[in-house]
Amino acid sequence: MRDTANDRYTAALNLFMKAVVRERRIPFEIKAETEAELRRKGWEAFLQMRETAIANGAADMTLDEINEEIRAARNGK
């Protein structure tokens, strides 16, 4: 008998549902990041991208130059 992705999905879902019934709750914690955490991560990502742009000599590119780079990359040039 072949083990298909559907078989694995079904087995995983069965395990999850049994845990829900057994524990009478979702068997893991659901937690959202606070707005402050999201803002901090966004700012850190921005700073990292800016450092990369500076290191690659792209920090002072105009919007037209950026768009041309994108076009060239999409066209495989």
> What residues does each domain of the chain span?
1-31, 33-77
Q: Which tens digits make up the pLDDT trace of 20-75?
A: 999 999 988 888 899 999 999 999 999 999 999 999 988 899 999 999 999 999 99
Closest CA to 70 of 47, 48, 62: 62
Enumerate residues 6+ apart whose C-beta is below 8 A from 50: 59
The per-residue pLDDT for 74 is 94
Between 51 and 2, the more confident residue is: 51
pLDDT reading at 2 higher than 80:
no
